[in-house]
Structure 1
Amino acid sequence: MSRAALRTAAFALALLPTAAFAHTGLGETSGFVHGFSHPVSGLDHVLAMVMVGAFAARLGGRALWMLPATFMLVMAAGGALGVAGVALPFVEVGIALSVLVLGAAVALNMRAPLAAAMGLVGLFALFHGHAHGAEMPDNAGGLAYGVGFLLATALLHGAGLALGLGLSQAGGRRGTIVMRSAGGLAAVAGAGLLAGVL
């Protein structure tokens, strides 16, 4: 793998923690910060979002933007349901399964049709969005909170895309092995989340 690809992936990942404070004037600051911090503060959300980006990178073409866009749109709808107090069964199970399934898709280098991949990430996005919305603090502004969790999600998708594209540009068998290994580790973490040991 080339040093340029490694630097690109490391740079994208290094920006994630500091980005929470990049827009403190947007809307209600506490709502934005709470919204931004929710996706980046849990292993389940981080792994699922990064795997969406990595899966999109593996599929290539229109999937590069359609999978993250589908996830974000459906997640926003799920967030609205959570804020409204609409019950959604098995949210935690759905979130754990998202890590397991998306990690396995990357590990197995799954080549799904675009519509099927969009349906899969959309289903999981509903659970993630509902969790974000249901856990919104009472004193947080809804719009600022929503913008925060959407921006954090977009950055995590971007990190997955950078990782996947960087490793594929590095070419060769080593890049594929590293990417598939990352997917495998995420799938194992998803199994641990599902079993309640993580």
Structure 2
Amino acid sequence: MSRFLLALPFVMIASAAFAHTDGETGGFISGFTHPILGWDHVIAMVAVGLWGAFLGKPAIWILPVVFPLVMAVGGALGVIGVPLPAVEAGIALSGVILGLLIAFAVRAPLWVAGVIVGVFAIFHGHAHGTELPEAANPFAYGIGFVIGTGLLHLIGIAFGLLVGSSTGRMVVRGMGVVIAAVGGAFLFGIA
């Protein structure tokens, strides 16, 4: 476990260009690394965990469960070829909006938070679903992808638990600003 934790920062600094592989996907490892190697996905997945932790129980667990479940629906739409306009913009906006919700300490009702997270999950899922049919082993890819996504949600939750102190709340809100800025960079083609 300690080796994994030491390697995690190096995995996290990988280029966003690796996030969308244009069909060159494989099995479990490709699925696992896909959300971890793309900053556009990293910020959204971490933000879901952060916002859930900020909102507290039951959102701390519901939002990170809603995201992959609804993402599977988006993935299925991508697999069967249902078009979805502005997928990349939707993915970038997920970072902007979720980051701003965290930065401004927005305490949305659980159902509103679930809808927001679910809408963005459709875009993330669709992007991955369009790549999935090319995978050598789509089942292994999907399992790896869910585990990678879950890990990023857990990282967000862990940072979100800092909200218990005034300094921690400032750190979490600051992370929201960074997430929104990175999402904006993707949205405007800067990143």
TM-score range, shorter chain: 0.7 to 0.9
Cα deviations by residue, 1:40-97 (Å, 9 ceiling, x for unpaired):
1111000000000000000001101110111010001111121222211110010000
CA positional deviation for 1:191: 1.2
> Which of residues 145, 148, 151 is equivalent to 2:141?
145
Contact 1:12–1:162 (8 Å) recurs in 2: no
Matched residue SS, 2:27? helix
Using structure 2 for the length normalisation, give the TM-score.
0.85
The residue that corresponds to 2:176 in the other structure is 183
**Equivalents in 2 of 1:161, 1:16: separation in Å?**
20
**Equivalents in 2 of 1:71, 1:188: separation in Å?**
22
Cα distance change of structure 1 residues 178 and 192 upon mapping to structure 2, 3 Å threshold: same
**C-alpha RMSD over aligned residues:** 2.1
**Equivalents in 2 of 1:72, 1:12: separation in Å?**
26
**Equivalents in 2 of 1:66, 1:180: separation in Å?**
21
**Are positions 1:73 and 2:69 aligned together?**
yes
> Which of residues 143, 149, 155 is equivalent to 2:151?
155
The residue that corresponds to 1:8 in the other structure is none
Q: How many matched pairs?
A: 175
CA positional deviation for 1:17: 4.4
Contact 2:70–2:122 (8 Å) recurs in 1: yes
The residue that corresponds to 2:96 in the other structure is 100
**Equivalents in 2 of 1:179, 1:93: separation in Å?**
25
Matched residue SS, 1:126? helix
The residue that corresponds to 1:117 in the other structure is 113
> Which of residues 119, 122, 125 is equivalent to 1:126?
122
**Equivalents in 2 of 1:32, 1:120: separation in Å?**
29
Identity %: 51
Using structure 1 for the length normalisation, give the TM-score.
0.82
Unmatched 5+ stretches in structure 2 = 13-25
> Which of residues 183, 187, 191 is equivalent to 1:194?
187
CA positional deviation for 1:168: 2.3
Matches of residues 32-47 of structure 1 in structure 2 within 5 Å?
32-47=28-43
